[in-house]
Amino acid sequence: MAEVSGGYEYGHRLSLTEILGELTRKELESLCREHEITGFSRLNKLELIKKISQYILTMPVIYNYFICMNDSEIEYVRMARDTDGIVEDAEPEAFSYLIIGGYAGFNQNLDFGIPWEVLELFDRFDDEAFEEKRQRICLIGNYSHIANYLYGVTPPMTVVKMFNRNEKKKTDWAEVVHVYDTIQKYRCDFIYRDNYFIDTAFSKGYEDLLRLQGNIPYYLPGREQVEEWCQVGFPAVTSYLMELYKYMVEQLWTDEDTAADVCFMMENTLHVGCCIGSVMNQLKNIGVYGRTRRQRREFQALLENLLNHSRMIIYRGHTPLEAARLRAGK
């Protein structure tokens, strides 16, 4: 690869046509739906490839797609420029966003990377202004996703309040909604309706969730929590789940696969919110329960400990213990 004024000159080691050519028709049609490309149902494979290529290589399209990348993803793109787009020993997870968009993949020789056409366009807008805008969108987007995870239904002003509590450069309602408009097409797990950000899981009954939550205030995480959740994922009571898993395997003689499935089920159930009675009945129905009085007592204690330390949507991000203190006015 030779560096030239204003960017790079790439060797044609990987082209977009090669990458798209390795996809099945079903995968190409899925790519059309991802980009909301219409009029593709009667096209043959070559016509599909041409139509997709022309669309995703349009400057506004690729710019808007790349502006939604997180820090690690954008760094992988910049690193790929040093190797003519070829990425050795690639971790698919790191490139999943690019792959879904059609901007990365394999050629016939099983070389993986980013096509030269994509990198040449990226070079045209990858400047300080782009990076500053991308980081701002990424930061506000992170707060919005955290709010969605904690509350399920969120007034944009609550995102503003959480953001401004932790960040020096403040935001406002208009900017938060604008960021939603930017990211909602490609990487958003909530919708904007009736002046609320609503988790897609609650889109048909969010009023019921609001009534269930009542007047409990929104839990507002601090900066350290926000940074931790952005790096390692949303809040998970991993240690308490591991204790539960260990007890099921060692004391209740539950096989490891079933115990793992129970922990996964518990994590999803706890995220929304539940009570100890419903959880124990649910586990008993699938054959996971204590056979002796001692086992039932110990198993229930582990479940209660797990529940009491779980942040739940029904409590707007608070744990049951925190919610109880709020209701008691403490």
- Over the stretch 157-184, which tens digit does the pLDDT of each residue have? 999 999 999 999 999 999 999 999 999 9
Among the ranges given (87-101, 271-285, 314-328), the one the predictor scored with the smallest mean pLDDT: 87-101
| pLDDT confidence tier of residue 2, bands split at 50, 70 and 90 | very low
317 neighbors 154 (Cβ within 8 angstroms): no
The C-alpha angle 207, 221, 170, rounded to 5 degrees, equals 95
Coil, strand, or helix at residue 9? strand
For residues 312 and 300, the answer to whether their CB atoms sit within 8 Å is: no
Give SS3 for 7: strand
Do 320 and 304 meet the contact criterion of CB atoms below 8 Å apart?
no
pLDDT of residue 90: 67
Report pLDDT for 235: 60
At residue 1, does pLDDT exceed 60? Answer: no
Q: How far is it, in rounded angstroms, from Cα 40 to Cα 18?
A: 19
Average pLDDT of the chain to the nearest whole number: 91
Question: Angle 156-166/223-232 helices, nearest 10 degrees?
Answer: 110
Q: Stretch 124-152: mean pLDDT, rounded?
A: 96
Give the residue, 304 or 93, on which the prediction is more confident. Answer: 304
Is it the case that residue 5 has pLDDT exceeding 60?
Answer: no
Residue-wise pLDDT tens digits, 226-242 = 998 888 776 667 789 99
- Centre a 10 Å sphere on the Cβ of residue 172 and count the other Cβ atoms it contains: 13
Q: Where are the domains of the chain?
A: 2-126, 129-232, 238-310
Q: For residue 158, give Cα distances in angstroms to 176, 177, 182.
A: 10, 12, 19
For residues 137 and 178, the answer to whether their CB atoms sit within 8 Å is: no
Locate all alpha helices (DSSP H) within 96-167, ordered by sequence: 96-101, 116-125, 128-151, 156-166
pLDDT of 330 = 63
Give residue 141's identity as a one-letter amino acid code: G
The pLDDT, as a whole number, for residue 94 is 82
pLDDT in tens, 6-40: 456 655 578 999 999 999 999 999 999 999 999 99
Only one residue has tokens 């019921």, namely: 208
| Model pLDDT, residue 125 | 96
pLDDT at 8: 60
What residues contact residue 330 under an 8 Å CB cut-off, 6+ apart?
none
What is the pLDDT confidence band of residue 83, given thresholds at 50, 70 and 90? confident
DSSP string, 10-68: --SSS-HHHHHHTS-HHHHHHHHHHTT--S-TT--HHHHHHHHHHHHTSHHHHHHHHTT
Cβ–Cβ under 8 Å, residues 330 and 323: no
Domain 129-232 belongs to what topology? Arc Repressor Mutant, subunit A (1.10.10)
